[in-house]
């Protein structure tokens, strides 16, 4: 079942670390089978406090998304980010359209 990786930044502490993370994380996600559907700052924030960067990536399955997180390439991206930002990451399954 298709799954979506949703990454929402809560705080950015170091723009340089974030830039290095972005340079590495994108290729790591694509190499792991991810397809970027949306990324950037929200156009509107209707509820909640974070108006920072959000990313949505489609994977063929939740297991594939989790494997992408644990991949050596993505772990290298995380090492570059370090304490440069605080984020929430969720992986959710696609809605069953037949329901």
In a domain, 20, yes or no: yes
In a domain, 30, yes or no: yes
Q: How many domains does the chain have?
A: 1
**pLDDT tens digits, 8-32:** 999 999 999 999 999 999 999 999 9
**pLDDT tens digits, 51-87:** 889 999 999 999 999 999 999 999 999 999 999 999 9
Q: Strands of the chain (E only): list them.
A: 3-12, 35-40, 54-59, 85-93
Give the residue-averaged pLDDT of 42-53: 86
Structure token pair of residue 65: 């998304």
In a domain, 98, yes or no: no
CATH number reported for the structural domain that contains residue 56 in this entry: 3.30.70.100
pLDDT of residue 1: 93
In a domain, 22, yes or no: yes
In a domain, 67, yes or no: yes
In a domain, 60, yes or no: yes
The phi and psi torsions of 35 (rounded to 5 degrees) equal -120, 120
pLDDT grade for 50, boundaries at 50, 70 and 90: confident
How many residues are present in the chain?
A: 99
DSSP 97: T
In a domain, 28, yes or no: yes
Domain enclosing residue 36, as ranges: 3-42+51-93
The phi and psi torsions of 68 (rounded to 5 degrees) equal -60, -40
Whose tokens are 């930044």? That residue is 9
CA atoms of 16 and 86, how far apart (whole Å): 14
Query: Which range, 40-49, 51-60, 90-99, has the best average confidence (pLDDT)?
Result: 51-60
């Amino acid at each position: 079942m298709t799954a979506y990786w949703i990454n929402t930044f809560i705080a950015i502490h170091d723009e340089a670390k974030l830039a290095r993370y972005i340079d590495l994380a994108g290729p790591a996600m694509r190499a792991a089978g991810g397809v970027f559907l949306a990324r950037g700052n929200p156009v509107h924030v209707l509820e909640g406090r974070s108006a920072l960067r959000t990313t949505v990536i489609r994977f063929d399955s939740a297991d594939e998304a989790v494997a992408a997180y644990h991949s050596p390439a993505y772990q290298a991206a995380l090492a570059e980010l370090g304490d440069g930002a605080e984020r929430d990451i969720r992986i959710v399954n696609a809605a069953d359209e037949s329901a």
